[in-house]
Every structure is written in structure tokens, then in C-alpha cells.
Chains A and B, each alone.
Chain A
Amino acid sequence: MSDSVKKEANAAECSRRQAFVKLGVGSLCVAGTGAAVFGYEFLAPNVLYEPSPITNAGKPERYPLGSVTQDLQSGIYIVHGPEGLYAMSAVCTHLGCLTAWKPELGIVACPCHGSKFRPDGSKIEGPAPRPLTWLRAYISDEGDLLVDRSEALAQKQFVRT
């Protein structure tokens, strides 16, 4: 075998090797992406066994005019103001602690970082960036007051009784 032929053979060998390296790296990239997607899909649960976002607050007559009622279990307030009934989330807009209604002060206060709110949810003071979230409340066919905790209202909405 002459030297030139040998060199040519070497060059072909080299480019073949490079092609295999590219193939290997490429398939590793594909496998890596697939594993990432697979992993994400696996880790994100498809079915949640969490309480239903819709909670039954009972008959609207339970809430007399001018009252603020906190339901600890569902984490909501039912307020009966002059314009009607409305529901607010009791979860603080700062970092998610459960706020509490202080009847002696007439305010809502958060135990974690001291945010304070008025009964209409607007902020008095504290680190909370937004007022308390208003939730969609409606009367069911059975006449019960239902509150949908998954739906934040952009505008105030009252239930008239």
C-alpha cells in the first residue's frame, strides 16, 4: 500500500469517526431531552386528592347583616355588607398564611408577618402586596351559598339575598 492511499484511508477513517461521534452526541441529546420531559411529566401529578375548591357555606340566612364569618376549614370569609354577601379568601396575599378576623378591632390580621386588611379585603398595612382575594360566591339550586375558591374575582361581586 502506497503512502498516499494510506493517508486517504486515514482521512476516511477520521471522518467516519467524527460522524459516529456526532451520532453519539446527537442521540445522547435526544435521550437527555426525552428523560427531562419524561421526568417532568412523572413528577407533576395528574390527579390531585385535594379538597374540592367549591365549598358549601350553608344557607345565606346564617350570615346576618354586618357580620364577618370565618370558616377555618375552608379558609374563607363570608361577609354580609350593605351591598350584599361576598366571599373572600382568608389566605394572605403575602406568603400564604391563614389570616384571622379580629372582631374587637374590626380588621383582618395575618399572624405571620403582620399584614392587616379591612373587611372588604383592602390592605391597611403590612407586607401583603395585594388586597385579599375576592372569590366567586353564588346560590345553588338548593338555596345554599357556594364559594368557588379556585376563581379569583377581578371585580367586586355581591350576592343579594
Chain B
Amino acid sequence: MANSLETYFANLRDTRVWRSVFRSGTGATNLHRALAVQQNVFLHLSSVKIRKRSLAFPVTWFLGTLSLGVFAILVVTGIPLMFYYHPSVPQAYADMNDLRFVVSAGVFLRNLHRWSAHAMVLLVFAHMFKVFYRGAYRPPREFNWVVGVVLLLLTLFLSYTGYLLPWDQLAFWAITVGSNLISAVPLLGARIRFLLLGGNTVNANALLRFYVLHCVILPLAAALFVAVHFWRIRKDGGIYSGEKPNHE
């Protein structure tokens, strides 16, 4: 049985269609393995080869990978939630309650989205601390640290914009307080608040703007910066796995 499955896959990999998609060819040589990564648009963001010790748990605690995984969960759970949610007043609150009490699996998706959002903030912070305390931000990785800071801010802003969407009392007052914090920006504060809310108070315009930011602009920006972040790991010499042994 196992043998026939193996043959089946071997034959599949030999078909013309498969070969046209994966042009690196079959085989278990280093060259073939390297080509498989290098010729794939998604995989090629990462290195073709990686040091074994940089995959050890103590090096990263896998915090960056976990952040990416949680981000993927947020995208996958967020899109179905959009099918039942109208970003309008007062429909938004009713839709949120429908998701909790009426829609099949709605409460699961909503809670998974919410818990993952909390987890992502936690994980991104933890990732940042881990990188900082290991000194992995040092040259040649300074720029990737900056990209990471942008990703942290995007995470926080995603969290903040998502907070308004249930349109309950907690959401309303949290965004009222948060948008008044923005007014503290020198000179431009009041104007930024006005643009962000699309008005003087947290209202229908604010809900719609936060929805667009939360569902379109910020996730796209995050995906873009994640791509740069991963690309730079590769370009900056792979995951920082500590000083070279003969260096000390």
C-alpha cells in the first residue's frame, strides 16, 4: 500500500503538468532542494539553506513564526466574519450579536479572531523583547529591526481599529478615549483626529473608516512588511543564532 502510494506520487511528479508547475525537477540532491525553494515565489523569501542551530527552540522560541501563524489565523477567520458584518450604525452591533448567537460557527470564528488578536499583540511584543535581549537587532540586522517596529505599530493599529467594530459601549468609549489621545499630537492633533474619525465624534463615518482600515489597508500593509521582513532575514544572513563559537 505504502509502496503503491509512493509510486503514485513519483508518477505524479513526473507528469508534464507537475513538471510545468515545479520546474526544479525531482530528486533529493542538495541542488534540487535548493531549487525547490529558490524557484517558488513564496518560499524564496526564506533562505535556501539554514543553520541547524538557528532552528533550535532556545534561539527564537519560535516567536516570529508563531506571530505569522496567528496573523494567518486572523486573516482566515476575519474574512468569513465580513460576510455577516455591516459596518453601519446601529446594524454593526446587531451583526456582532448575530455572529455570537445565531450564525452557525459564528461564535467560534469571532472568538478565535478575538483571542488570536490578543495573542498576536502578546507574541509580537514577546518576539521584539526576545530579539532585543539576544542582541539580534545589531548590524547587519538594524533595518530589519526597523521593519519589525513598523510591524509592531501595524499590529497595534490593527488591534485598535478592530476594537471599534463590535460597536458596543466598550468599543465606543475606548475609541473616544483613543482618538482624544491622538489630539495630543502637536499642531496637527485635532486635524488627524478629524480625518481618522471622519467627523468630530465617534459616529457612522468613524465606524466605516475603521472598518476599511481594519479589513483592507492595514492587513495589506502588514502583508507587505511581513514579506520585506522575511526577505531581509534571508538577506541579512539568516536567523541570528548567537555569536560564532570561535568568536568568543
Contact = CB atoms under 8 A, between A and B. Distances in A.
Which of B177, B194, B204, B205 has the most chain A CB within a 10 Å cutoff? Answer: B177
Contacts of A49: 204
A95 B199 contact: no
Contacts of A95: 176-177, 180-181
B195 A43 contact: yes
B204 A112 contact: no
Given A45-B205, A50-B203, A96 B198 contact: no
A97 B195 contact: no
Interface class of chain A by DSSP: loop
B173 interface: yes
A45 B199 contact: yes
Contacts of B199: 45, 48, 50
A50 B198 contact: no
Nearest to A51: B201
A14 B205 CA distance: 53
A105 interface: no
Nearest to B173: A97
A1 interface: no
Nearest to B177: A95
Interface class of chain B by DSSP: helix
A112 B172 CA distance: 12
B38 to A, nearest CB: 35
A125 to B, nearest CB: 19
Interface in B190-234: 194-195, 198-201, 203-205
A96 B177 contact: yes
A154 interface: no
Interface string B166-187: 0000000100110111000000
Interface string A39-67: 01001110011100000000000000000
A45 B177 contact: no
Contacts of A96: 176-177, 179-180
A45 B195 CA distance: 8
A97 B203 CA distance: 15
A50 B176 CA distance: 15
Given A43-B195, A44-B195, A96-B180, A112 B173 contact: yes
B198 A45 contact: yes
A157 B98 CA distance: 49
B176 A97 contact: yes
B200 A50 contact: yes
Contacts of B203: 50
B45 to A, nearest CB: 30
B194 A44 contact: yes
Contact of B201 (A45, A50, A97): A50
A156 B180 CA distance: 25
Contacts of B194: 44
A45 B205 CA distance: 9
Nearest to B198: A45
Nearest to A97: B173
A27 B56 CA distance: 52
The 8 A-B residue pairs whose C-beta atoms are closest, nearest first, are A96-B180, A95-B177, A95-B180, A96-B176, A48-B199, A43-B195, A45-B198, A50-B199
Interface of A: 40, 43-45, 48-50, 95-97, 112
Given A44-B195, A49-B204, 4 more contacts: A43-B195, A43-B198, A45-B198, A48-B200
13 contacts: A40-B195, A43-B195, A43-B198, A44-B194, A44-B195, A48-B205, A95-B176, A96-B176, A96-B177, A96-B179, A97-B173, A97-B176, A97-B177
